[in-house]
Structure formats: C-alpha cells, structure tokens
Amino acid sequence: MKKIIEVAKYEYTHHVAKRRFWIALLGIPVGMLAIMGLSILFSFMSFDLEPVGYVDQANLIVQEQQVPENLGFFDIFIKLIPYTDEAAARADTENGTLQGYFVIPSSYLSTYSINYFSNKQPAGDVTNQINQLLRDNLLFQENIPNLDRIMSGSQISLESLDGSQTSDGTNWHNIIVPAVIGIIYFALVMTCGGFLLQSLVEEKQNRTMEIMITSMTPDNLMIGKIIGNLAVGFTQILVWALILVIGAVIFRDKLTFLSTLDLSAGYLAISIGLLVLAFIVAAGLMAIIGATMSTMEEAQSINGLMVVPLMLPFYFFNSFMTGPNGTLPRILSYFPLSAPFSLSLRMAFTTVPAWEIIMVFAILIVSVVLVFWLSGKAFRRGLLEYNKKIKLRDLFVKEANHG
Amino acid sequence: MNTIVVNHIAKSFGDMQAVKDVSFTVRPGEIFGLLGPNGSGKTTSIRVILDIYQPEKGTVTILDGPMTEEKLNHIGYLPEERGLYQDVEVYRNLAYLATLKNMTKEEIDQKLPAWLERFDLTEHQKKKTKELSKGMQQKAQLIAALIHDPEIIIIDEPFSALDPVNTQLVKDLLIELRNEGRTIIMCTHQMNQVEQLCDRLVLIDHGTVLLEGGLKEVRERFATNQVLIQTDSDLPENLPGVAKIEKEGLYHRLTSSDGTTPHAILQQLIDNKIGLNSFEIATPTLDEIFIKVVQEGRNGHEEDN
C-alpha cells in the first residue's frame, strides 16, 4: 500500500508541478471565458442601447413602458421615452440623447403604421418594444379580465404515454448536470488519461519500467498510477469548479435559473459514481495501450479512437431528448465508456428504472476488474518489449498458457 | 542455504525459445558471473529470477522460497537497459526509486548524499538526468541499485560507459559489498573483470548451460599440458618429456608429452643449464575458455539441428 501511495504521489506531483499543467488548467477556462466574453462584448457592441423617444399623436399610450423585473444577463432593454412635442424629440435625437424617435400618428387605428426618425437603422429589439408597448395599451383599453395571465401564456406540462416521463417544459436546464458530467469526464479522460498514457510510454522508452516492476507488482504500479492521475484530474475539476462558483457568485443575479436546478443528492452521487468508475475503465484501457505500444506516436493514434465512444452521446443528443428510454440512449448508457454522460442525461429527461442503474454500475465494476486483469497481463507482456508493439491477442493466448 | 536456486527454467516468446533449460545456484556472499554471448538468454534468465517473466517450466528459489514483493525490497538491480527519468532531477529521481524499495524519506536523506559524494555526483544532483554524461548516468543508476542496502545485487554490464577510474571505483565497491556478505550476480562480456571479481560462474548459450563452476576449478578444467618460458638461451631440439616447442614472440610454448608434469619440465630445463627469465603454466584465459566453450556448444547445437 505504501508503494501505491508513493507512485500516486510521484505521478501527482510530477504533473502538477509542471508549468504546462497549469497553463492547460487555467488556459482552458480562461480561453473559454475569453471567447464567450468577446462574443458577448461584440454582440453588445452591435446593439445601440441609447433610449428611443416616441410622440403619441393618437393618444393611445396610457401606460408607459414598464422596466421588466429580473432582467436576464442576455436580455436587452431599450428605454422608450414619451415626448409630447416632435421638435423636442428631434432635437434630442440630433444632440445624441436619443438614438431616434417614433411618431404614432393620429390615424394609427385606421392605418396601423408608425414612423421612425433616425439616421441609424433601428436596433432589432426597438421595434419589438414599441410594438409590445402599443399592444399592451390597446389591450388594456379593452378591459379584458385576467389580461396578464393571458399575455404570459399557458404553463404546459409534458407527459409521455406511459407516464414515466414528465416535464413542466421549463426544466431544460436540468441538462446542465449531465452536460457538466460529460464535459468533466471528457476532459478527465483526455488530459489525465493522456498523462497516464504518456507516463507509461515514457517509462517504457526511458527503460525506467524495468526498475519499477522489480520494486513492486505491476498491478500495484498501475493502481498507483491511476490514483495519481485521478487526483490530477480532480485537482483540475476542483480548480474549474472554483472558477465556476466564483463566476456564479459574481453573476448570481443574472443566473436565476440555477436556483431551479434539480440537484438531488442521489442523482449527483450516481452521476459522480459513474464518472469515477468509467474513468478507471478508460484509464485502464490507456494503460493497456501504453504498455503495448512502443512509441508515443503509436499510442496517440490508438488513443484517438478512445474519443469516439466518449463523443457518441454528444452526437446523438437529440435521441436522448426525444426518447431517453429509446434503444440508442439505452445502449450508450450500458457501454462503459459512454455510460456517465448517457445515463446521467437520461436521468435528467426521464425516470430511469433502478434495475437499469444497478445494471450499469455492475457493468462498470465488471469492466474495471476485466481491464485491471488485462492491463496486468499487458504490463508483464508488453512493458519490456521495447522495440515492438504487442497484439491484444497475445495477451490472451501466450500468457494464458502459463498465466 | 543457497541464495538463489534456478532449477531447469524455460521461457519462450512466440516461436523464439529464449531460455531452454537453465539451472545454476548462487551461494551467499559470492560474486557470481552470469556469462554468455549476446542473445544467449542471460537477460531473460535474470527477468525470470526477478519474477518479471513467469517461466514455462522450472522453478526459481530465492532466499529460500518463491519471489515475493517483500523480497524485491532486498534486491538491487542494474538492468542492461539503463532507465532513469530523463526529465527529472538526479536527486529526486533516485529518492523516488528508493521509496519504491521501502526506504523512508529520512533514510534516503541520510544515505543518498553519501552515495552521491562517493560517485562524485554531488554537484550534479540538481541536474536533470538527460544533462549527465553516459558514465554519470551509469553511476546514478548504480546508486539506484545499491542505496537500499540489498542482500542480493543483480548487475548487468556494470562497467559499460565507465572510464578506467570509475571502473576501478565500481570494482572496489563490488569487492567491498561481497566482503560485507552481499550476494552479487554479474552479467558481463568483459572476461578480465570476471577473472578479477567472480568466485563462480555459469556460461550459457542458446538458452542452455554450457559451463558452471568456481573460477579456479573452471580454469583448471581447461588447463592445457603446456608451459610458457622466457629465456635468452637456445633451446635444444629435443627435451625429454617435451613433445613440441613453439616460439611465440618473447615466449616459447612447450607442450609436454603425456604424463610429464610442469615440474619435470622445469627440472629438465635446469638440468640442461637453460637460463630462465620466466616460467609459467599456460592456463587458458577466461576469454579463450569462453570462445572455446561457446564454439563447441554451437557446433553441437548445429549437429543437433
């Protein structure tokens, strides 16, 4: 056990102490934030948020524009200012106080046309807002009971024919948890799995492996490496989570939907359990690849294939939304490498029977055992074959003779 | 009790039979030479001893039983293919490998500086391994094999890449370790080193044992009926008890007739008033024995096939 911890410690400090780890760690969220920030900045820059005036010659506006409560981060609000005098509105447009002004002519109720005066094109939302203002005022004068409720529309509940799937139509953001699980899993496999693969191939190329496996058993060596790299991965997740939490705290007023997230402890525990087990399976596969390949280039080309099962649930996202208990989502959630995102996603859209969840966990545990058994063989068989790669078949056939 | 008993082991890789039938014993506190030409099965035999490979046939007994993870802590190994982390500082590299031999941080911090000092590596301890010369890397690798005070030391070509000064340093160290009671298995092609260091040896080729025994015993077994003399006198054409006289540079090689002892030849030379500068029994060098045994073994191998 002591040696397993020593290996894990070495693997952890070896990667975490490297500058490239921190560059990748902080670079990814900073890069993503920078891209998001720039795109938001450019969109805002393309909006003219200066107020717009209106002159109501038809005397239709009795209720002025309401400033919406809980204005979302991405909601655009342009203030509409009433003017009694067109000349004043024109003067304010000329001196830049207004971006332009509407004139609602006295003939509006017969023509339904209004004029906009400006040297600029009206921003997209300005026309929506003046139309909204007119519509609200015209309806207000009709004295329709429950007008507010009618205007805010119906609350639609969705239910599948067998009653297993229910939704109030507003829980789209429940996919945030599976999406986060999926992204974390993908990032873990790609970075930490990559580190593991790299460390094995490097040890093989450096010939350090022979020293290592004459100090401890290959199985313990691999367990130590997986734990170490898993810890590197969790450090990565922790830092990213910290960045997300700080971001969420700073922008808490704008991210109101987060409070409606369905974050039951059981759901989170299942998702995290799937994530850890699937990562161990992926890491074990990486170890087999690392042990059987003789150069990093070969290992990376095979490793590239690992991406496919990880990406499948993303490709078939629509199938999960439209039929989370359909054949494809089910198969993907039974397959160890695609299980974390797939099952978590299904659970977000529907109620997955308990037996299925237990079965997925059983498949993952069996896979962990199988992958460990196979990678132990790959270590013995492949690690000292410096100059040639080992075929998967060899692991079963030749070692089985005297295993 | 023997330290290591290798009993009829066999190991193949696919169609290649790396070790066919190898047996030998290594006694406590000796330097044991494991010799053989390239590809003879030496490294595979060592890997079987170290439990890296499982033998298809035969057994290995080490310290009175099968190999265990605990026993690995008592073995120091310098593999043929040297291996240290190239991008890691020498001190950290060696300290990490020492922890895998169950050493505590305190023990390492106490012993490692002394080893670095002994091998003249103290000023290089902060350098990355790849920044060291080949000879320095070799010395660092030796530290990795020895720092945990192993009972059994297995070293493959310990003198490769070393200059004469460092070769002497390592030789002195091996003798010192033997005198402390450590058991050493040494693989090398340098027969002069074997002659100077080994107590016993085994010679293998094509995965089978060609020769095993004590160094003195092996040399005596291959001793010829010849003496080498150095003289300024002219030798008579016929000397009783001498079948043939050949000139080899400054020496004359005298082949005795059957049953004539070297002592009888010496007496003949004195009786014939031949002034002698030197007189020695012509025992073959280990190099000569090695070549002879391997060639005979290969001829036999071809005939078998």
pLDDT of A388 above 60 = no
**Subunit contact B72:A208, Cβ cutoff 8 A:** no
Residues B53 and B184 reside in one and the same domain: yes
For A208, the closest of B72, B77, B84 (CB atoms) is B84
For A209, the closest of B73, B83, B99 (CB atoms) is B83
**B14 lies in some domain:** yes
From the CA atom positions of chain A, what is the Rg in Å?
A: 30
Return the residue of B nearest to A385 by Cα.
B13
A160: confidence class by pLDDT, cuts 50, 70, 90 = low
Residues B94 and B231 reside in one and the same domain: no
For A386, the closest of B14, B81, B82 (CB atoms) is B81
Q: Is the ipTM of this structure higher than 0.85?
A: no
**Set of chain B residues whose Cβ sits within 8 Å of the Cβ of A211:** 77, 79, 83-84, 97, 144
**Set of chain B residues whose Cβ sits within 8 Å of the Cβ of A209:** 83
Looking at residue A394, its pLDDT comes to 62
**B185 lies in some domain:** yes
**B293 lies in some domain:** no
Cα–Cα nearest to A244, from A229, A233, A259, A255: A255
- Higher-pLDDT residue of A168 and B291 is B291
Residues B31 and B90 reside in one and the same domain: yes
CATH of the domain at B14: 3.40.50.300
Q: What angle, 0 to 180 degrees and rounded to 10, lies between the N-to-C axes of helices A218-250 and A19-46?
A: 30
Residues B188 and B247 reside in one and the same domain: no
| B58-113: pLDDT as tens digits | 999 999 899 988 899 999 999 887 788 888 899 999 999 999 999 999 999 999 99
Looking at residue B16, its pLDDT comes to 84
Mean pLDDT comparison of A137-151, A378-392, B244-258, highest-scoring range: B244-258
Residues B173 and B277 reside in one and the same domain: no
Residues B200 and B91 reside in one and the same domain: yes
CATH of the domain at B252: 3.30.70
Return the residue of B nearest to A394 by Cα.
B14
The domain boundary residue, chosen from B220, B246, B269: B220
| B22-69: pLDDT as tens digits | 999 999 999 999 998 888 889 899 989 998 888 999 999 999 899 988
| A258-302: pLDDT as tens digits | 666 656 777 888 888 888 889 888 888 888 887 777 777 777 777
User: Structural domain of residue B142, as residue ranges?
Assistant: 4-220
**B157 lies in some domain:** yes
The domain boundary residue, chosen from B220, B251, B269: B220
Count of domains for chain B:
2
Looking at residue B198, its pLDDT comes to 92
Looking at residue A167, its pLDDT comes to 55
Task: Output the six-digit token pair for B301.
Answer: 């191998």
3-state secondary structure of B25: strand
Looking at residue B62, its pLDDT comes to 93
Tell me, yes or no, if B144 comes closer than 8 A to chain A by beta carbon: yes
**Subunit contact B77:A211, Cβ cutoff 8 A:** yes
Domains, in order of start, for chain A: 47-152 (3.40.190), 171-402 (no CATH)
Looking at residue B112, its pLDDT comes to 95
Residues B125 and B233 reside in one and the same domain: no
Tell me, yes or no, if B250 comes closer than 8 A to chain A by beta carbon: no
The domain boundary residue, chosen from B220, B251, B266: B220
**Set of chain B residues whose Cβ sits within 8 Å of the Cβ of A220:** 69
Residues B171 and B228 reside in one and the same domain: no
Share of chain A above pLDDT 70, in %: 82
Average pLDDT of chain B to the nearest whole number:
88
| A126-155: pLDDT as tens digits | 888 888 888 888 888 888 887 777 777 776
A61: confidence class by pLDDT, cuts 50, 70, 90 = confident
| A163-175: pLDDT as tens digits | 655 555 445 556 7
A366: confidence class by pLDDT, cuts 50, 70, 90 = very high
**Set of chain A residues whose Cβ sits within 8 Å of the Cβ of B100:** 3, 6-7, 212, 215-216
Looking at residue A402, its pLDDT comes to 36
**Subunit contact A214:B54, Cβ cutoff 8 A:** no
Tell me how many residue pairs between chain A and chain B have CB atoms under 8 A apart: 68
| B148-202: pLDDT as tens digits | 999 999 999 888 888 899 899 999 999 999 999 999 999 988 888 888 899 999 9
Share of chain A above pLDDT 90, in %: 11
Residues on A contacting B at a C-beta cutoff of 8 Å? 2-3, 6-7, 10, 14, 202-203, 206-217, 220, 380, 384, 386, 394, 398, 401-403
Tell me if B76 sits within 8 A of B146, measured CB to CB.
yes
Three-state SS for chain A is CHHHHHHHHHHHHHHHCCHHHHHHHHHHHHHHHHHHHHHHHHHHHHCCCCCEEEEECCCCCCCCCCCCCCCCCCCCCCCEEEECCHHHHHHHHHCCCCCEEEEECCCHHHHCCCEEECCCCCCHHHHHHHHHHHHHHHHHCCCCCCHHHHHHCCCCCEECCCCCCEECCCHHHHHHHHHHHHHHHHHHHHHHHHHHHHHHHHHHHHCCHHHHCCCCCHHHHHHHHHHHHHHHHHHHHHHHHHHHHHHHHHCCCCCHHHHHCCCCHHHHHHHHHHHHHHHHHHHHHHHHHHHHCCCHHHHHHHHHHHHHHHHHHHHCHHHHHHCCCCHHHHHHHHCCCCHHHHHHHHHHHCCCCHHHHHHHHHHHHHHHHHHHHHHHHHHHHHCCCCCCCCCHHHHHHHHHHHC
Residues B197 and B232 reside in one and the same domain: no
Residues B212 and B239 reside in one and the same domain: no
Looking at residue A302, its pLDDT comes to 73
**B296 lies in some domain:** no
Cα–Cα nearest to A345, from A320, A314, A368: A320
**Set of chain B residues whose Cβ sits within 8 Å of the Cβ of A217:** 69
pLDDT of A249 above 50 = yes
Residues B72 and B101 reside in one and the same domain: yes
A392: confidence class by pLDDT, cuts 50, 70, 90 = low
pLDDT of A84 above 60 = yes
Tell me, yes or no, if B100 comes closer than 8 A to chain A by beta carbon: yes
Residues B59 and B161 reside in one and the same domain: yes
**B300 lies in some domain:** no
Residue ranges of B 39-78 with Cβ closer than 8 A to chain A: 47, 50, 52-56, 69, 72-73, 75, 77
**B84 lies in some domain:** yes
**B28 lies in some domain:** yes
Tell me, yes or no, if B96 comes closer than 8 A to chain A by beta carbon: yes
